[in-house]
Amino acid sequence: MRTPPTVVVFAGLPGTGKSTLADRAAAVLGAPSFAGDWLSSSTPARHRNGPRVVVPIMTDSRAALDHLTRTGTVRLATRTEDGREIVTKIWAVVVDGQAYIRNGYGDSSKWYARIRRTGRAAFVNGGERYDVAAELVTDEATNAQVDDAYSSKYAGSGSALRMMITGDVRISTLRVTPVEG
């Protein structure tokens, strides 16, 4: 008797480790893993064990800001201490021509620790890459504007949105500025 195909779906908030868990499960099962944003975007779907793609580095800050403004869940690439690049899906907003990101779990996630350690990351989008420098935001006025931007851009996201504008998360706000690669 033939075993029917199985699909395993991991769901959760951006940046919680769904892709990491899916990749590990796929490796154990000997199966491909797909990210939902690959399947719903204009980027052709390919499984994670497919060929690596070299993408040009984009330093045009207007293009980077346009990408962050129009994209709901963005892909943030950070580097581990041994140099490996890990891509995490997160939310990003633009306020007065400046981009901001937050970690929904305050300062406790791995991507956030990596970006705080290096001060650098990149937003990746298919064939585009936007390298950025990151700095912590501490002033209340900016955090209030970032709250408003998250509330506007992600309206209808329920508890995920509420989590992104709480005090514990607000202290993790980072200003991200495009830089030369």
Neighbours of 87 (CB within 10 A): 17
Give me the mean pLDDT over the 88-115 stretch: 90
The CATH number of 57-178 is: 2.30.110.10
Domain definitions of the chain by residue range: 57-178
Residues 6+ apart with CB under 8 A from 30: none
pTM of the shown model:
0.68
Question: In angstroms, what CA-CA distances link 159 with 9, 63, 162?
Answer: 21, 30, 5
Per-residue pLDDT band at 99 (split at 50, 70, 90): very high
- DSSP secondary structure, 100-112, as one string: EE--TTTT-SHHH
pLDDT tens digits along 72-92 = 999 999 999 999 999 999 999
**pLDDT at residue 168, rounded to an integer:** 82
With a cut of 90, say whether residue 65 has pLDDT above it. Answer: no
With a cut of 80, say whether residue 112 has pLDDT above it. Answer: yes
